[in-house]
Amino acid sequence: MLSREKEFRGKETDFYDAEKLENMVDKAREYEYNPLRELVTLYLFLKDIEVRNRLEREHYS
C-alpha cells in the first residue's frame, strides 16, 4: 500500500519507508500482544485513507 503511494508521489516522502514499516510489523508479530503492532496497523490504516483522499482530490482538481 505504501509502496504504491511512493510510485504516485515519486521520491518525495513524509513518512516511514514501506520496508521499515514491514520490518516493524514482522518484529511486532513475534509477540502475542504488542502495542507496537496495534499502532503500526492503525498508522497504515490512517495513511491508506489519507492517500486515497489525496489521490481523489488530485484526480478531481
Predicted confidence at residue 43, as pLDDT, reads 92
Per-residue pLDDT reduced to its tens digit, 34-59: 788 788 889 999 999 998 888 888 88
Residue 7 has pLDDT above 70, yes or no: no
Neighbours of 2 (CB within 10 A): 19
Domain boundaries defined on the chain: 2-60
Query: Quick one: three-class SS letters along the chain?
Result: CHHHHHHHHCCCCCCCCHHHHHHHHHHHCCCCCCHHHHHHHHHHHHHHHHHHHHHHHHHHC
| pLDDT mean over 21-34 | 74
d(CA 32, CA 34): 7
Instruction: For the chain, give the mean pLDDT.
Output: 74
Return the percentage of the chain with pLDDT > 90, whole number: 7
